[in-house]
Amino acid sequence: MTSQSLDQIAHRPAAAVRIGQATAVEQSRAVAEVQAAVFVAQQFPRNVHAAIASMRESCASQTLAEKAFFRFPRGGQNVSGESIHLARELARCWTNVDYGIKELSRNDDIGESEMLAWAWDVQANTRVSNTFIVKHQRDKRGGPEKLVDLRDIYENNANNGARRVREAIFAILPPSFVEEAKALCTKTLKDGGGKPLAQRIADAIAMFATLGVTTDQLAQKLNRPSAQWTEHDVAQLGVTFRSLERGEITRDEEFPAPRVTADEITSKKSTPKTAPKSDAVEDWPPVAPIPGGE
């Protein structure tokens, strides 16, 4: 290509590069939203003391505390931490925070979506964003399952995006603000809304009974009978129950059925049969009748 042709491309009029009307409208709307968010943040700056008071009030709520933590298995171990529900509530309390997820593109041929998750403290102008790829598949024990249904793909993208948004929100919030919220939510779970411990234990047993989990299975999981459960034990059971409801874990993963070993099976087969119990005294094994006897 000659220098003359390069010069012609460099000086090509802007009208030659055309964009659609919908794209132009979307670009203008996005710019206007950013400008409006910055303007509002400057006109109404956050009150840190009011934000902390709002956080403390929210974390004292049993409803938030029950959703503040998650639990799911990974690599043979249980992973736990703070949930997206707590992150969103803390962002609301802190004020002037913009966050979200967006699907940038989707390729159904190779089965993946390009996603963007972000959190932006508009007032402090601190922003954390993450672009990532989400495969259209669901991991299962037998191997990954390909997702084709649009609703399944949407839910899979939303679940993966929520984790990135959670981390982005926590990254822009003050660490002391987050740590106090976690401690207050844990305390609220332990307090149980003012209910006596015995009542909370009974409620926990009744909750898991609806999922087919017995008291013996709960006792085995906590490694002690229900009469010895503490406030912390009941709080952990609450987190487990919510994770089961949300589908983060399964009942079989959390409460596996007892396995019978080969030695136990062999032992059962080799154990001789015992005489049946009876109040009457009788010979065992029974004696064959004597020919000609009465």
Q: What is the pLDDT of residues 114-136, one digit of tens each?
A: 999 999 999 998 999 999 999 99
The answer on pLDDT for 27 being more than 60 is yes
How many whole angstroms separate alpha carbon 200 and alpha carbon 8? Answer: 78
The CATH classification number of 26-180 equals: 3.30.390
| pLDDT recorded at residue 202 | 92
The answer on pLDDT for 103 being more than 90 is yes
- Poorest-pLDDT segment among 131-140, 153-162, 254-263: 254-263
Angle at CA 32, nearest 5°, toward 15 and 154? 95
DSSP string, 29-72: HHHHHHHHHHHHHHHS---HHHHHHHHHHHHT-HHHHHHSEEEE
How many whole angstroms separate alpha carbon 157 and alpha carbon 151? Answer: 10
Q: In this structure, what DSSP letter does residue 130 have?
A: E
Containing H/E element for 101? strand 97-107
46: CB partners within 8 A, 6+ apart: 94, 95, 96, 123
| pLDDT recorded at residue 75 | 65
pLDDT band at 74 (very low <50, low <70, confident <90, very high): low
More confident residue, 138 or 55: 55
| pLDDT recorded at residue 281 | 44
How many whole angstroms separate alpha carbon 140 and alpha carbon 252? Answer: 13
- Poorest-pLDDT segment among 215-219, 229-233, 275-279: 275-279
Handedness of CA 239, 243, 249, 250 (dihedral sign): positive
| pLDDT recorded at residue 154 | 92
Q: Are 116 and 134 in contact (CB under 8 A)?
A: no
Beta-carbon count within 10 A of 248 CB: 17
pLDDT band at 268 (very low <50, low <70, confident <90, very high): low
Residue 126: both structure tokens together: 């601190």
- Poorest-pLDDT segment among 7-11, 171-175, 257-261: 7-11
How many whole angstroms separate alpha carbon 214 and alpha carbon 254? Answer: 13
The answer on pLDDT for 274 being more than 60 is no
The answer on pLDDT for 279 being more than 80 is no
Domain ranges in the chain? 26-180, 195-254
- Poorest-pLDDT segment among 64-73, 80-89, 193-202, 208-217: 64-73
Average pLDDT over residues 206-231: 88
User: b/e map of 261-280 (b: 16 or more CB within 10 Å)?
Assistant: eeeeeeeeeeeeeeeeeeee
The tally of CA atoms less than 13 A away on the side-chain side of residue 233 is 21
| pLDDT recorded at residue 242 | 83
How many whole angstroms separate alpha carbon 224 and alpha carbon 226? Answer: 7
Q: Terminal CA-to-CA distance of the chain, rounded, Å?
A: 123
170: CB partners within 8 A, 6+ apart: 82, 87, 178
Structure confidence by residue, pLDDT tens digits, 29-49: 777 777 777 767 777 889 999
Q: Are 115 and 107 in contact (CB under 8 A)?
A: no
The answer on pLDDT for 275 being more than 80 is no
Express as a percent the part of the chain with pLDDT over 90: 39
